[in-house]
Amino acid sequence: MAKDPERWLLTHQGVRHVVEIVESGLSRRITWTLDGDEVAAKKSSEEKVTLDGGDHGAIGLRLPTFTGPARRVTWWGPEATLGAVAAAQTGLGGLDLDPEAGSKAAAREAWIREHPQQYAVRRTAAAVAGVVVPLLLIWLLGRFALPAIPWPDLKLPDIPWPNLPSIPWPSIPLPDLPSIPWPDWSLPGWVETVLDSIKYVWPVLLAVALARAEIKRRRDQDARKRAASEASEESEREETREP
């Protein structure tokens, strides 16, 4: 049974953007339309997808690894400094589309906005699990010895390779270089402990930073949409007042 398509919507300056995502096996079919006319489409299984709309800008999508709603769908106009496609690939700026009301993506977006701190905690917990679980598995493998596997003893046949002639390379004497009296020093024990722990700590710190940056980005997006909506309403009022 085919799943219902996932839709993300944005109305900007009177133009309605609709991005539709349809799961197709291990990949997704993504279509972008403007006021009902198709602008770009792509079939992909990647997590980061960019749709090039030419003079209409570009759409950047951040999709889950396996299944579930898109994490983000953003539109960049053709006036982007580096070009819409390049801006979409960096993921900076742009204007987010809103998930269709009543969808799983809409419920997820609403929960993140209502519980930003819990969202950050969940992201951090996932990063901690990504560090702890592999270490736990390694510890368990060390505690329980695996049974020996009787691999067959395979012997390769002897191949009579021909003897290649030796080449009398000339012996070039190298000058004796003076020895450099490098100082004999070592890192303090606490520094070595810190450096050894960084490889476990940095994924957690990175997850915290990314979660906080995402919360700030969403707040900035909300402010930009409010400003764009107010500007559009003001423009409509000006047109109404004109004789």
Does 182 reside within a domain? Answer: no
CA end-to-end span of the chain, whole Å? 57
Q: Examine the domain organization and report whether 56 and 79 are in the same domain.
A: yes
pLDDT at 45: 92
How many Å separate Cα 8 from the centre of its chain?
19
- CA 152-154-159 angle, 5° bins: 180
Does 180 reside within a domain? Answer: no
Q: Examine the domain organization and report whether 121 and 210 are in the same domain.
A: yes
Does 37 reside within a domain? Answer: yes
How many Å separate Cα 7 from the centre of its chain?
21
pLDDT at 218: 84
pLDDT at 15: 92
Domain boundary among 68, 101, 134: 101
Q: Examine the domain organization and report whether 13 and 42 are in the same domain.
A: yes
Q: Examine the domain organization and report whether 16 and 79 are in the same domain.
A: yes
Domain boundary among 44, 73, 101: 101
Q: Examine the domain organization and report whether 60 and 19 are in the same domain.
A: yes
Q: Examine the domain organization and report whether 10 and 64 are in the same domain.
A: yes
Does 71 reside within a domain? Answer: yes
Q: Examine the domain organization and report whether 41 and 135 are in the same domain.
A: no
Q: In the chain, which ranges are E strands? A: 6-12, 15-24, 27-34, 37-44, 48-52, 58-62, 72-76, 95-96, 98-99
Contacting residues for 35 by C-beta, under 8 A, at least 6 apart = 15, 16
Q: Examine the domain organization and report whether 93 and 138 are in the same domain.
A: no
Domain boundary among 71, 101, 131: 101
Q: Examine the domain organization and report whether 11 and 90 are in the same domain.
A: yes
pLDDT digits (tens, 9 = 90+) for 23-65: 888 899 999 999 999 999 999 999 999 999 999 999 999 998 8
Does 199 reside within a domain? Answer: yes
Q: Examine the domain organization and report whether 78 and 134 are in the same domain.
A: no
pLDDT tens, N- to C-terminus, the chain (243 residues)? 557 899 999 998 889 999 999 988 889 999 999 999 999 999 999 999 999 999 999 999 999 888 889 999 999 999 887 899 999 998 888 899 999 999 999 999 899 888 888 888 888 888 777 777 777 787 777 777 667 778 787 777 777 777 777 778 888 877 777 777 777 767 676 666 666 666 777 777 888 888 888 888 888 888 888 887 777 777 667 766 665
pLDDT at 197: 67
Overall number of domains in the chain = 2
pLDDT at 2: 56
pLDDT at 119: 85
Closest CA to 59 of 70, 74, 37, 38: 74
**Residue 8 burial (CB count, 10 A):** 26
Sheet containing 48-52: order of strands? 48-52, 58-62, 72-76, 95-96
Largest CA distance in the chain: 101
pLDDT at 145: 63
Find residue 17's DSSP bridge partners.
Answer: 10, 34
| pTM attached to this predicted model | 0.65
Q: Examine the domain organization and report whether 64 and 123 are in the same domain.
A: no
Residue 183, SS3 per DSSP: coil
Does 214 reside within a domain? Answer: yes
**Which DSSP string do the residues of 54-107 spell out, in sequence order?**
GGG-EEEEE--SSSS--SEEEEE-TT-TT-HHHHHHHT-S-EEPEEPTTSHHHH
Q: Examine the domain organization and report whether 22 and 79 are in the same domain.
A: yes
Does 172 reside within a domain? Answer: no
The domain of 211 spans 115-142+190-224
Does 68 reside within a domain? Answer: yes
